[in-house]
Amino acid sequence: MKSVARFQDTLHRFFDSDIWYSFKKSKVTISAACVTVIMILSAFTAPWIAPHNTFDPATLDLMDAFTPPAWYEDGTSKFLLGTDDQGRDIFSTILYGSRISLFVAFAAMLLAMLLGVSLGLVSGYIGGALDAFIMRIADVQISFPAILIVLLISGVARSVLPNVRHEEMAVWVLIFAIGISNWVHFARTVRGSTMVEKNKEYVQSARVIGRRRATIMFRHILPNVMGPVLVIGTIGLAVAVLTEATISFLGVGVPPTEPSLGTLIRIGQSFLFAGEWWIVIFPGVALAILVLAVNLLGDWMRDALNPKLR
Amino acid sequence: MPALIIRRIIQSVIVMLTVAVVAFTLFRYVGDPVSQMVGQETTIAEREQLREDLGLNDPIIVQFARFALNTVQGKFGISFRLGRPVNELFAERLPATLELSLVAALFSLVVGIPMGVYTGLYPDRVLSKVFQTISLIGISLPTFLIGILLILFFGVLLSWLPTFGRGDVIQLGWWSTGLLTASGLKAIVMPAFTLGMFQLTLIMRLVRSEMMEVLRTDYIKFARARGLTNRAVNFGHALKNTLVPVITITGLQLGSIIAFAIITETVFQWPGMGLLFLQSIQFADVPVMSTYLILIAFFFVVINLIVDILYHVVDPRLRFDKSVVSSH
């Protein structure tokens, strides 16, 4: 019962807070949040809500190939947004595709966050030569565009892994590459706030009563530096979705057997000249809406959590 | 000033060395160079001989020194995929990428700065809201999608502009240019717009926020109090002071424009370095990959250096010797 009461208390505090208030005031943010939630939910539940299972070759019929969207004369209501060259339903491929896109983006962001936050904490708390070393690496890495680093890592993975393996490993390689290329922002921010926090009294008293260094860093300081991390994580999620789409579009990301949104656009691009625009435009629109919504959410979060703007 | 330049050059050399180590590691350890070069019936003794001839049995430091020396002289090895010297391949494609990047950068400046100034001066006008919306879309739409949409409208539906390639090029010595022929000019419109769109939104947002910041300062109020015309205040005083960060960002973005050209070149089949790099990744063509890495790093370092120096030329505050400033 006690935990229920505490939960209600937390809930009450949340609905009473400035953050909830600024959320309620902004119509754009509410719609962005709705769109994001709907897209994440529909991606998550794709196997149940998608009208066709695009991974099962038995359900595909080549006779259905290149069916235009339902509102065209020769379209059918069976395929709402038309079909591609293999007779796959575009609407279903978008659902499955955004599932893969979002999975890669979330996993990559988690990796970047884990790496960046730990390195930033250690760097800011311990300081000295270790700090200088980590930050120099960060400086060099940030001067290169993330997309180049991701391309390079997947290029190396391609030459190291045998051909058969790299198709099934592609998703993991991509997560690793995008994660590695995005840790710097987290590390820099966390390092900055850690250097401020470590001189505060609660840290000093924790040190005085003899708590271990790791405990102080991860139990005491970490919760106090997480605010900006969430903002960077949200904006980073949009960036990760875009990066994944771009790499897959370039043909070195997720293989066509399990297409993400970027792979779908890559496949569809070749049918543009024949006038079959729906194969490429709908996945593109889905991607753009997803990124726009997450970006707007991130923008709002940055303003709401920034005490300077209040 | 000279001290700063020397310090910057030392930093640049360190960065280049780091990149060279990465490129060397790629070159040496990703894929066995010997098995890439020989056929199936080569005996083990011949392989050993080749290994010895290539110097692959030397100490690693010696190998790295040789690699660095070759790189400085422009000997980048031979492409696994195309069987041609890598520097020849890059020399062929460098003009295409540089032309595209420069035109894109110029476009983003020429359009982005006025848009930023306008939205900064009149944030509440309808046109400003339109510009703001465009910039939000520009940031959220991936580069390749903008390219595809352009191809669909202007290439396929209206067939006004060519959808791939550079058009006719003219050879000026080793430099091939498409900017002097009508078809070349037509061909560069869509790729340059695609590539410049993201930079444009970046520059517009930057100029806007800087402009709004500057307009709040005392010296602008004072200039108005002196009765200067709006034009003199807005452009003579305000805009001039927003340009310092714009120069920095533009300079730094020039490097990433060259890198982002990979995407644009793929969409429009533009025969530049980026397309070459992408193909080398798909075929695990290590010499081309490591050369591209070194080349891009070199561009970045040089551009950073120029931006730093330019910064000091433009901003007189930085030109004062630090000791003079602190003695006040």
pLDDT reported for residue B316: 67
Q: What is the mean pLDDT of residues B197-218?
A: 86
Contact A159/B31, CB-based, under 8 Å?
A: yes
Element (H, E) at B136: helix B126-140
pLDDT reported for residue A70: 66
A166 near B CB under 8 A: no
pLDDT reported for residue B160: 82
Q: What is the pLDDT of residues A255-271, one digit of tens each?
A: 877 888 888 888 888 88
Please give the residue that has the higher pLDDT: either B177 or A310: B177
Q: What is the pLDDT of residues B134-186, one digit of tens each?
A: 887 777 788 888 888 888 888 878 878 787 777 777 777 777 777 777 788 88
Contact B284/A155, CB-based, under 8 Å?
A: yes
A264: nearest Cα among A74, A83, A103, A62: A83
Question: CB of B312 within 8 A of CB of B319?
Answer: yes
Structure-block tokens of residue B38 = 């020989």
Q: How far is it, in rounded angstroms, from Cα A266 to Cα A273? A: 13
Q: Chain B residues within 8 A (CB-CB) of chain A?
A: 15, 18, 26, 30-31, 136-137, 139-145, 148-149, 151-152, 156, 163, 255-256, 259-260, 262-263, 266-267, 277-278, 280-282, 284, 286, 289, 293, 296-297, 300, 304
Q: Strand ranges (DSSP E) for B51-206?
A: 170-172, 175-177
All residues of chain A having their beta carbon less than 8 Å from the beta carbon of residue B286 are 159
Which residue of A269, A277, A292 is in closest CB contact with B140? A292
pLDDT reported for residue B260: 84
DSSP per residue, B194-237 = HHHHHHHHHHHHHHHHHHHHHHTSHHHHHHHHTT--HHIIIIII
pLDDT tier at A112 (50, 70, 90 boundaries)?
very high
Which of A76-80, A84-88, B48-52, B235-239 has the highest average model confidence (pLDDT)? B235-239
Q: Does domain A17-305 have CATH number 1.10.3720.10?
A: yes
Of A126-135, B195-204, B245-254, the poorest mean pLDDT is in: B245-254
Which residue of A140, A155, A284 is in closest CB contact with B148? A284
Q: What is the mean pLDDT of residues A203-228?
A: 87
pLDDT reported for residue B319: 62
Q: What is the mean pLDDT of residues B275-300?
A: 83
pTM of the predicted structure, to 2 decimals? 0.81
Contact B278/A272, CB-based, under 8 Å?
A: no
Q: What is the pLDDT of residues A31-83, one digit of tens each?
A: 888 888 888 888 888 788 777 777 666 666 666 666 777 667 666 666 667 77
pLDDT reported for residue A257: 78
Q: What is the pLDDT of residues B244-257, one digit of tens each?
A: 778 777 777 777 78
- Which chain A residues in 268-297 lie under 8 Å from chain B, judged by CB atoms? 269, 272-273, 275, 277, 280-281, 284, 287-288, 291-292, 295
Of A62-76, A215-229, B203-217, the poorest mean pLDDT is in: A62-76
Entry field: residues in chain A:
310
Q: What backbone phi and psi angles, to 5 degrees, belong to A71?
A: -80, -5
pLDDT reported for residue A119: 93
DSSP class of B157: I
pLDDT reported for residue B328: 42
Q: What is the pLDDT of residues A234-243, one digit of tens each?
A: 888 988 998 8
All residues of chain A having their beta carbon less than 8 Å from the beta carbon of residue B153 are none
Q: What is the mean pLDDT of residues A231-255?
A: 87
pLDDT tier at A228 (50, 70, 90 boundaries)?
confident
ipTM for this prediction: 0.77
Question: CB of A264 within 8 A of CB of A255?
Answer: no
pLDDT tier at B325 (50, 70, 90 boundaries)?
very low
